[in-house]
Amino acid sequence: MIEAIGRALLFDIDGTLANTDPLHLKAFNLVLGPRGHVFDHARFSRELQGFENVSIGERFLPDEAPERRALILDEKEEVFRTLVAGQIEPLPGLMALLDRADAAGIPMVAVTNAPRLNAELLLSGLGITHRFKALVIGAELLHGKPHPLPYQEGLRFAGASAMASIAFEDSRTGVQSAAAAGIPTIGIRTSLNHADLVAAGAIASASGFDDPDLLTRLAAAMAW
């Protein structure tokens, strides 16, 4: 199969490929709650969702040394991985969409601010690691989301142009990152509503990958 030159699909992972945000919320409360920070869904979506752990540590653990912050947030990620094990389910329509992109020769890249262990666990748990041309980890770059660099890297790996591609994101920081890279971005409404996603820069939103309007848009954009 010859890849469709210039086009690509780029996906965030948490909250986009699978609705893992409730488990992240629980893990943050288990670890940060005893340290005076308790989050409901609304606060999670504003202050935690999509942010790198370094910035979360700076904001919520300002009195801790950087090394200690990192250890505390590593503990949160370990709690999350324990919670999510065996509970990873794809969003509706995801597998059919990946099949269609593969058949059309359109490269796909995963772009996340999650730690590599988490990202690899989720992709392997969904059985889709092999689908992606690359896995871009924000913390391994000079800048993570909301900076455009992670998505610029994703385009580079895919050999794709921004305006000919589509990104899928569920968080404000993620939408901002993809949009700043010049990629038309579809917001996935696992945690945020349509208005919030569009305000962050999404061109449209969808409840899942089986959304009829999304499928129509993809058929036109990807020419499949």
Which of 14, 21, 196, 211 is catalytic? The answer is 14
Residue 211 is a catalytic residue = no
Cβ atoms of residues 219 and 103 within 8 Å: no
Tell which residue, 5, 10, 4, 3, has the closest CA to residue 183: 10
Cβ atoms of residues 133 and 109 within 8 Å: yes
Helix/strand/coil for 65: coil
Helix/strand/coil for 168: strand
Residue 21 is a catalytic residue = no
Cβ atoms of residues 108 and 132 within 8 Å: yes
Cβ atoms of residues 194 and 205 within 8 Å: yes
**Residues contacting residue 189 through CB under 8 Å, at least 6 positions apart:** 170, 197, 205, 206, 207
Cis peptide before 107 (omega within 30 of 0): no
Which of 12, 21, 170, 211 is catalytic? The answer is 12
Catalytic residue set: 12, 14
